[in-house]
């Protein structure tokens, strides 16, 4: 019997580099957003529920646009990422505006998700094959502490308009050993990763696997996020105005403490996304090519 599967879509980011609410920027020929294509592909792969993590003030615009379009096809729920949703005895530091990061975003959905689930960013196009790959992992998993991650070839995840944030994936025997959160860009024909923790930049091969935050989890991840949140806040006492509780960093910690294992699933899919305003026309062109190849309808939800 096929298991229920949920797709959690993280859409509470402020889109600072793009300069607006890029998650609802129309990019398809019938005003589809990138999120539309992700949901469409997830349905094809067998997901039967969508959970959006958004800011409360953006609820109406999400509900009236993407929500209205997809609700006839799949169950939809909303969670709100709030700054004051913190462990007991902690408060929002003065001047904090930015959401607390992807681990915190996932935690907001703990009461909505009781089944295996995948997570994605709202503003990335992942490719249909990747959704089938992660769905297969979610169906097959028998150990609640065995997770999965889709690894993209780094060259297929770059933009010509600046650097991108990617987690460099190091593995052994198909299982993840380390994720190195990095700023990645092409310089003089070489791809260079600059770790965000201050380590020296290093060159990587075009085919180096990187993460776009397409993880497969069991509900056990909620307990780990909750348990480690106070430690994160304590470690960032001097940096609480801007620090982010990120899921790749937490996963890396849990691997190193032997609490979980994460299977690395390679994909040949190409990333398409709007990191900068200048990316928009390229993304529109790529989506039109996918439509011309017959992968998507011109009016996606018709």
Higher pLDDT, 252 or 141: 252
Checking DSSP bridges between strand 272-273 and strand 164-172, what pairing results, if any?
Answer: unpaired
Kindly tell me if the per-residue pLDDT of 20 is higher than 60: no
Q: How far is CA 62 from CA 59, 76, 80, 107, in A?
A: 5, 11, 12, 20
pLDDT-based confidence at residue 14 (cuts at 50, 70, 90): very low
Model confidence at 140, pLDDT cuts 50, 70, 90, reads: confident
Half-sphere exposure of 120 (CA within 13 A, CB side): 29
Q: Which of 23, 5, 28 is nearest to 13 (CA)?
A: 23
Residue 23 has pLDDT above 70, yes or no: no
> Rounded to a whole number, what is the largest CA-CA distance in the chain?
55
- What is the secondary structure of 132-200 as a DSSP string? HHHHHHHHH--STTEEEEEEEEGGGG-BTTB-EEEEEEEEETTEEEEEEEEEEEEETTEEEEEETTSPP
Domains of the chain, each with CATH number or no CATH: 6-292 (3.90.550.10)
Work out the average pLDDT over 54-67: 87
pLDDT, position 12? 81
**pLDDT recorded at residue 24:** 56
Q: What does the DSSP assignment read for 238-286?
A: GGTTT----HHHHHHHHHHTTS-EEEEEEE-PPPEE-SSGGGHHHHHHH
Q: How far apart are CA 191 and CA 159, in angstroms?
A: 12
B/e letters for 88-99, b = 16+ CB within 10 Å, e = fewer, are eeeeeeeeeeeb
Angstrom CA distances, 283 to 27, 29, 56, 154, 158, stand at: 7, 12, 28, 18, 12
Residue 113: the pLDDT is: 97
Nearest to 6 by CA among 73, 105, 76, 68: 76
Residue range 147-197, pLDDT digits in tens: 999 999 999 999 988 899 999 999 999 999 999 999 999 988 899 999 988
> Using an 8 Å Cβ cutoff, are 177 and 267 in contact?
no
The pLDDT, as a whole number, for residue 13 is: 65
> What pTM did the predictor assign?
0.92
Interval 56-76 mean pLDDT: 90
């Amino acid at each position: 019997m096929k298991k229920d599967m949920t797709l959690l879509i993280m859409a509470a980011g402020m889109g600072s580099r793009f300069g607006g609410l890029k998650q609802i920027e129309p990019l398809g020929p019938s005003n589809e957003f990138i999120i539309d294509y992700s949901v469409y592909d997830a349905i094809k792969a067998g997901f039967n529920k969508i959970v959006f993590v958004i800011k409360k003030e953006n609820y109406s615009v999400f509900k009236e646009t993407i929500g209205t379009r997809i609700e006839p096809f799949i169950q939809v729920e909303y969670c709100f990422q709030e700054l004051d949703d913190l462990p007991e005895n902690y408060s929002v530091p003065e001047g904090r505006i930015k959401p607390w990061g992807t681990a915190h975003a996932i935690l907001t959905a703990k009461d909505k998700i009781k089944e295996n689930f995948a997570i994605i960013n709202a503003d990335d196009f992942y490719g249909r094959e990747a959704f089938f790959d992660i769905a297969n992992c979610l169906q097959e998993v028998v150990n609640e502490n065995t997770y999965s991650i889709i690894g993209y070839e780094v060259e297929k995840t770059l933009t010509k308009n600046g650097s991108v944030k990617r987690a460099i994936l190091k593995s052994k025997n198909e299982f993840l050993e380390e994720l190195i959160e990095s700023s990645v860009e092409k310089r003089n024909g070489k791809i260079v990763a600059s770790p965000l923790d201050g380590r020296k930049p290093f060159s990587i091969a075009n085919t180096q696997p990187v993460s776009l935050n397409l993880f497969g989890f069991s509900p056990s991840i909620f307990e780990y996020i909750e348990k480690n949140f106070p430690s994160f806040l304590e470690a960032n006492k001097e940096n609480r105005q801007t620090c982010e509780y990120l899921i790749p960093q937490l996963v890396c910690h849990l691997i190193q403490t032997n609490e979980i294992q994460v299977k690395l699933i390679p994909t040949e899919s190409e990333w398409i996304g709007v990191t900068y305003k200048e990316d928009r026309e390229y993304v529109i062109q790529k989506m039109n090519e996918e439509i011309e190849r017959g992968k998507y309808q011109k009016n996606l939800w018709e």
